[in-house]
Structure 1
Amino acid sequence: MTRSSCRGCHGVCQLLVHQDETGKIVRITGDKDSPTSKGYICPKGARAADTLYHPDRITRPLLREKGRGEGAWRAIEWDEALDLMESHFKRIINEHGPEYIAIAQGTGRPYTEFTPRFCNALGSPNHVSPAHNCYVPRNICAGITMGWFPQPDIYGRSGVMPRCVMVFGSNIMESGGEGGYCGKMVIQALKEAEKTIIIDPRRIKACEGSDYHLALRPGSECALMLGMIHVVIAHEAYDKDFVENYCSGFKELQAHVQQFTPQWAQEITGVPAEMIEQAALTFARTGPSTLIWGNGIDESVCAFQTARAVYLLLALCGSIDVPGGMVRWVPPANLRPKSGMVDHAVQGAQFLPPEQREKCISPFPLCPGAHPPSFWQACVDGKPYKPKAIWLIGTNPILTHTRGDIVRSALRDHMEFTVTSDFFMTPTAAVSDLVLPTAHWLEQDDIVYFHKIWCVLSRKKLAQIGETRDDRAVMLEMAHRLGLDEAFPWKDWDDYMAWILEPSGMTFSEFAEKDILFGDMQYRKYEEQGFQTPSGKLELYSNVMAKMGLEPMPVYTEPPISPVSTPELLEEFPFILMTGCKLKPFFHTEGRNIPALRKLHPNPMVDMNPEDAEALGLEEGQLVQVRTPYGTQRFLLHPDERLQKGVVHAEHAWWFPEQEEPEFGCFTSNANMLFGHEHFDTISGAQPLKSGLCAVQAVSEADATAPVS
């Protein structure tokens, strides 16, 4: 039995891996002694070995032999695969420039410590990820507001737990984990809190026993925050000492929010003004208060300003860097930083020449990297230029990005050279030229130091299937072949880990025996260090944004397609459409080919209020089509009383590995095909994926082809 750290999602729970006498992994259980997860394990972690040993895993590099998407592959040696990559990349750089090569990645996984660095070192600004819709805009916004990214202090290591917990656009209590936090620990924090506030269009499980459920209209999050800020200031419920001594711009904010009364917020959000007022005063007066938030607020045309408003509310309530509040974690001493949240230099922006930075395919000033919808469109129409090659690492953008048809066309019809690193043949890998077999987390030695900053965990390599390789080891070798030694001075992965540990004097084996290292946490660090902003204070009025010509204080923008903005569409599309809520058995597109996980949730579902379903004459399990101005996709109906009337949620990331290559049914129940490429947050490029309009109707018997095999 070996203790290790899961990477089935963002939670990074500690697990116990059980092996038989041959070394085969036979069982994975939760670690009751773990301070990060205390025995919790979700289905993704428990069934990790099912992925490791899956008969369909790609275990050798595969080279396309016929046309893209024709399913003809030949296994080759790693040296041949790397030679091909090297020659194509060097040719394209010499003929066109490094910006014509893109590096794409999926959600934050271990490879994230190298993917942006590799891209920057290469000289390309086109790092493509889902970050514009998840997590990173909040991180950038935090940097502008206070200089660092605050996280909830819910593990009780200070001896203080939050007295008030607000859960905003997050459901990790049910999905398992997110952002380095285990859902069980959030549940524990909610139980111990005196007051709990849930902000979500759905009545999620956390609402049970909560003091307030602010069931707002999807897309109106920023208006709700502005209303709450108004209340805190109007009632003088803010922390006067913190505001007066450690914040700048209070008078400007006070004047700015006078108009944003609870009544104003009620008209927009649908949340009663009295409840907005009570929740705001509770959050302000029941400190320490903390926040659990997720990408429920990221997928909006004012996502960036919503995040700004949240930070300002936290600051007004004195919840910044105090025990039980929103804190700046102190990492373990004597380790070199491995997380971009500790040291931005990890991402390697210093290696990207300024003139290349200007060539990034993104029209948005604070988009983290290339803007995916703009990037994929450029691949097709050549505006501003047409990228020639892409290396996709742990990502399946035909399913996870909007307009998968454009993504597929870009990869299949327009790229000169496409490489995909993944576990399995996916709809994205199927239209590539070369597919590389990536190592599972059970096949990795690692120093787990990315999301969880307050501690660093060990991960041990316990298996080796075929010729799979750690993505980061492959990037290291390719970096050396391309002459990127300044950014990647380590000879191999072991050398890199030794460099991380060098200040501690430990070898990796010695570190692995410890399993976990803790930081020596200190609070209220701003009292001596100030904030890393132009004013040296937490900026309620943002000097950085003002200098950039952006609104320096939060403003609300109505979703461009909504009952308010486009009432003329309501007769044809009467429901508000959301997508992207997480499912516990899966991590985005992963897991649908694992029988034990698929059994837990076998079919793509669309959720709607039972009264709405009854009014349409629809029954549970019935095949329906969800139609928007952009397209139609099919799902099985799930009447769900947790949804407010008039709101529909279509599950995202569905494909059917049991169906035929190359599509694997990826355009049958693809929720992201129900949204367009016209509307974005003007600051970060985020997309309104939780506030569209749709119709739901039965599929006629003549057209009733089930969306599953």
Structure 2
Amino acid sequence: MARLSRREFLQWTTGGLAAAALSDWIFFKKALEAQSEEGPKLFYHACHICDCTCGMIYQVKNGRIVEMRGNPADKLGAAGKLCVKGYSTPRLYHDPCRLSHPLRRTNPRKGRDEDPAWKIITWDEAFALVGEQFRRVYDRHGPDAILLFARARPWDSHLQYAIGTPNQLCHVDTCYINHEIAGKAVSGDRIWGWDFSHAKYIVGFGYDQVGKSKNIHQREFMEARRNGAKIVIFDPRLSETAQKADLWIPIRPGTDLAALLAMIHVILNEGLYDKDFVEKYTVGLDKLKPHVAKYTPQWAQKICDVPAQTLVQIAREFGSTKPATLAYHKRDAGGPVFMNSFQTAHAMVILQALVGSLDRPGGLYFSRTPKVPSIKDVYKLSYPDIEGKPRFDDPENITPLAFKAKKAGFSTAADAILNDSKPRVALFHSYNTTSFSNPQRFEQALKKLNFIVNVDMYLTELGMYADVILPENLWIENSGFTVRSYQAERPQVLLDEGAPKLRDTKSYGEIVNGILAAMKLYDYAVDPKKLTGAQLAAMGLDKDKLRQAGGVFDSGEPFKPTEQFKTPSGKVELYSTVLEKAGHAPMPEWVEPASKPTPEYPYYIVTHHLPWMRMLKNANDPILKDLQCENKAHIHPSVATKLGVKDKDFVWLESPVGRIKLKVAVTEGIRPDTIMTEHGFGIWAKGRCQGFGWGQNEGEILPDRTLAEMKQWKRHAAGRGVGICDTTVRITKA
């Protein structure tokens, strides 16, 4: 095929949209014209904009989604309603900026100012090129020379295991890794359900899932509020969730751990813990009680800037009110926000157990999911053995639990690549440079890789560094089923009926099979259609049964609290032998965060995710963009007065790694020593024509980590969390 001309790039410069959107309008128009006039058809699907996977029903007429609503049969998820993000699906589906064809880079130079000079190629050409490059590295330098940046989902894991590389890197060490590792180490499983509606007392530390419009959290939380539960939120800023609480406590950033340790101290010292639960279902109380003796409320007051009497009052109420529960999930104080956040997450699980609401009604609980045979089981495959093979980014096995969970790698990815001597190639599945803190350093690392494959729906910032881009279906174009993991109070399976494809894209399963076949790993190139039928049959289901049930199989099983926990002792381990064996602190310990304010950088920085945004996944939605088209620097009035600025004036935010320019938003709802800005802006690649050029990427002032830093944090950072806000900034008038 001929190379594209500048004119065909629709006059977008610097290699932006170029072939990514070139001919999309033509392809899109032809796809619609090919549809005959017909009545609307009804389809079922789980929404995959976020992990809530709420059931939805949609209608298609003449190739267009004309209506979408929540599926009332999904009692555990949407319950007949969708959030604003879910309702953006039709606009994502019909977005003309989505990629239509595989693309090959023809300009070898890479950088923000370089035009990749894309050339449209066929799928056969794309697979042949990827297979050739991957196979060459595979043969010359070994399978571990292939880096896979992807979540540990079935097809991603199949690709990893078939190739035989230990080097799978996942973003979850910037998301919820601490909560998962702490939950598994202490109680044997990930805590992924929230029964707020039956709770009488709720405490959150940086918890703002209500403000992020997480459908499940929002509904449960508001039901608890209507039922009269007392709600206490510790947060440096007055978040949307804090606004709906009975008590907002503006705690100093990075010190939530001290408050939690003080609460544990009071509850144990005053005998307020659930003695029946602790005696029957936990071990290690004899070690925990003397361990927290020094963590008094008076000690904590000096650290977290919360009066000792307030901490005592909340601890007493929390310990004596049944049922009481913590509210936590993802990027709250226990998420990978500070380098001491794993200790915070660890303390949260212990406190939940002490009040007897771990996997109990009115508390937090484990997911109840049906057993689904894996790709390996269905096709009776034998993978290469990668057990014990050293990772390129953790050669000394500093954080074994994080990598065993297949949920880490982003925090140190740039450092590992930049200091690596082996030639490597990489595949990125639905990840962008904006997924990384300090992306400017990561972009330098990308230039060192020999060959990059990007699987995505758009031409993104990461795509601008890719050698080949493989366009993936939007999730609603994929068929199959979804097993509920969020809020899985009982086993539930949702039917996924794919909408008509509008472009020359493929499902990720098809892409994985194409790559494996091109690498001549033919035994692992399997038929995805056989997989779905076999997995459904193993659960006693098929698509017809799911459709007859309204798109949702709900087991209806009553909730049975766990009696035997999946730990070495079979009980909740207040002194974790799992953490101890891995070389981490077996009980939560106070440790300072990595950064404190200095004369040069005197302010803390925190971030927020807007309720209508799913990071940058729906950033090209013109309606959602108009709700707030740029992020801002939210500051206290005293800071505004000191700087001599007012609302909408520009300021510079600068940290040790970078700086960004934002407009000011002055608010009383934030600590004077703290600045907040929103995530989900700063698109510089022009492949998302609606989202391009709005706001700034706050990741450019947030830190990544080095392998040496992780080694120093071995005892206290079992989750390998990046400590995404563990830095300080200065603010100056622009």
CA contact (8 A) 2:254 2:593 kept: yes
Provide the rounded CA distance (Å) in 2 between the counterparts of 1:673 and 1:61: 30
Letter in 1 for 2:532: M
Q: Distance in 2 between matches of 1:481 and 1:193?
A: 60
TM (norm. structure 1) is 0.87
Partner Cα distance (1:170, 1:446) in 2: 33
SS of match in other structure, 2:342: helix
Native 8 Å contact 1:380 1:406 kept in 2: no
Q: CA 1:657 to 1:264, structure 2 compared with 1: closer, same or farther past 3 Å?
A: same
Query: Amino acid of the residue matched to residue 410 of structure 2?
Result: P
Identity %, equivalent residues: 25
Letter in 2 for 1:641: E
Shift of 1:557: 1.5
Partner residue of 2:205 out of 168, 176, 190: 168
Contact 2:44 2:56 in 1 (8 A): yes
**Counterpart in the other structure of 2:15:** none
Distance in 1, Cα, partners of 2:211 & 2:441: 33
Q: Classify the secondary structure of the residue corresponding to 1:83.
A: helix
CA contact (8 A) 2:84 2:612 kept: yes
Q: 1:512 to 1:102 in 2, by over 3 A?
A: farther
Superposed counterparts of 1:82-481, under 5 Å: 82-105=127-150, 112-154=153-195, 161-177=198-214, 181-294=216-329, 295-296=331-332, 297-298=334-335, 299-332=337-370, 336=372, 352-357=385-390, 359-361=392-394, 364-365=398-399, 366-368=401-403, 369=406, 371-382=409-420, 385-386=421-422, 388-396=424-432, 398-411=433-446, 413-449=447-483, 451-452=485-486, 453=488, 454=490, 455-479=492-516, 481=518
Q: Deviations over 1:396-433 (max 9, x none)?
A: 0x21212212221222x211110101111111101100
Q: Is the 8 A contact 1:612 1:645 kept in 2?
A: yes
Secondary structure of the residue aligned to 1:304 is helix
Whole-Å separation in 2 of the counterparts to 1:134 and 1:661: 24
Alpha-carbon contact 1:497-1:508 (below 8 Å) kept? no
Counterpart-to-counterpart distance in 1, 2:181 and 2:375: 15
CA distance in 1, matches of 2:555, 2:204: 26
CA separation of 1:658 and 1:74: change in aligned 2, threshold 3 A: closer
Contact map agreement 1:101 1:126 (CA 8 A) in 2: yes
In structure 1, the residue corresponding to 2:263 is in which secondary structure?
helix
**1:654 is matched with which residue: 653, 660, 681?**
681
**In the superposition, relative to structure 1, how do residues 485 and 329 fare at CA in structure 2: closer, same or farther (>3 Å)?**
farther
Segment drifting more, 471-480 vs 66-75 = 471-480
Q: Which amino acid aligns with 2:358?
A: I
Shift, 1:142, TM fit: 1.5
Question: In the alignment, which of 549, 552, 556 is matched to residue 516 of structure 1?
Answer: 552
Superposed displacement of residue 391, structure 1: 0.6
- The DSSP-based 3-state class of the residue aligned with 1:47 is helix
**What residue number does 2:699 align with?**
672
Change (3 A) 1:286 1:618: same
Question: For the residues of structure 2 that align with 1:595 and 1:199, how far apart are their CA atoms?
Answer: 34
Over 3 Å counting, the alpha-carbon distance change for 1:120 and 1:594 in structure 2 is same
Is 2:681 aligned against 1:641?
no
1:640: Cα distance to partner?
A: 2.9
2:570 to 512, 531, 536: 536
Distance in 1 (CA, whole Å) between partners of 2:236 and 2:157 is 34
Q: How far apart, in 2, do the equivalents of 1:588 and 1:301 lie?
A: 22
- Does residue 24 (structure 1) correspond to residue 57 (structure 2)? The answer is no
Q: State the 1:117 CA deviation.
A: 4.2
Residue 93 of structure 1 aligns to a residue in which SS? helix
Q: 1:555 is matched with which residue?
A: 589
Tell me the equivalent position of 1:686. 721
| Inter-partner Cα distance in structure 1 for 2:411 and 2:244 | 41
User: How many angstroms does 1:270 deviate by?
Assistant: 1.2
Judged with a 3 Å threshold, the aligned counterparts in structure 2 of structure 1 residues 422 and 153 are, in CA distance, closer, same or farther, namely same
Is residue 438–residue 702 contact of structure 2 (8 Å, CA) maintained in 1?
A: yes
The 1-side partners of 2:568 and 2:55 are apart by 40
Deviation at 1:102, TM superposition (A): 0.9
The answer for unaligned runs of 5 or more in structure 2 is 1-41
Give the Å deviation of 1:104.
0.8
Match of 1:705 in 2: none
Q: 2:122 aligns to what?
A: 77
Coordinate RMSD, CA, aligned: 3.0
Amino acid at match of 2:186: T
Q: 3-state SS of the aligned residue for 1:557?
A: coil
- The offset of 1:164, in angstroms, is 2.3
| 1:15 matches 2:52 | no
90 and 509 in structure 1: CA distance in 2 versus 1, 3 angstrom threshold: farther
C-alpha distance in structure 2 between counterparts of 1:359 and 1:603, whole Å = 38
**Partner letter of residue 43 of structure 1?**
V
Cα distance in structure 2, aligned partners of 1:483 and 1:556: 52
Q: Secondary structure of the residue that 1:188 maps to in structure 2? A: helix
Residue number in structure 1 paired with 2:13:
none
Q: 2:604 aligns with which of 576, 581, 584?
A: 576
Matched with 1:703 is none
Say yes or no: does 1:696 pair with 2:696: no
Q: Which amino acid is 2:247 matched to?
A: Y
Deviates more, 1:63-72 or 1:25-34: 25-34
Count of residues in correspondence between the two structures: 666
Q: Structure 1 pair 352/174, CA: closer, same or farther in 2 (3 Å)? A: farther
Give how far 1:60 is off: 1.1
3-state SS, counterpart of residue 402 of structure 2: coil
Which amino acid is the alignment partner of residue 286 of structure 1?
T
When residues 608 and 540 of structure 1 are mapped into structure 2, their CA distance, relative to the original with a 3 A threshold, is same
Give the whole-Å Cα distance in 2 for the aligned partners of 1:476 and 1:556: 48
Q: TM-score, normalised to structure 2's length?
A: 0.84
Residues 578, 692 of structure 1: 8 Å contact kept: no
| Residue matched to 1:44 | 85
Amino acid of the structure 2 residue aligned with 1:648? I
**Aligned AA for 2:346?**
R
**Partners of 2:131 and 2:685 in 1: CA distance:** 34
**Shift in alpha-carbon separation, 1:337–1:626, aligned structure 2, 3 A:** farther
The DSSP-based 3-state class of the residue aligned with 1:461 is coil
User: In the superposition, relative to structure 1, how do residues 410 and 629 fare at CA in structure 2: closer, same or farther (>3 Å)?
Assistant: closer
Q: Distance in 1 between matches of 2:584 and 2:116?
A: 49
CA change 1:668–1:5 in 2 (3 A) is closer
Quickly say closer, same or farther: Cα 1:483–1:247, change in 2 above 3 A: farther
Q: CA deviation at 1:555?
A: 0.7
Matched, 1:630 2:675: no
Greater shift in the superposed pair: 475-484 or 87-96: 475-484
> Where does the alignment leave 5 or more consecutive residues of structure 1 unmatched?
564-568, 700-709
CA shift for structure 1 position 482: 4.6
User: Cα distance, 1:687 vs. partner?
Assistant: 2.3
- Per-residue displacement from partner, 1:482-521 (whole Å, max 9, x unpaired)? 56677x58x3222111121112343224324421223454
- The one-letter amino acid of 1:439's match is N
Identify which range, 292-301 or 323-332, moves more after superposition.
Answer: 323-332
Q: Deviations 1:67-95 (Å, cap 9, x if unpaired)?
A: 34423111111122112222221111110
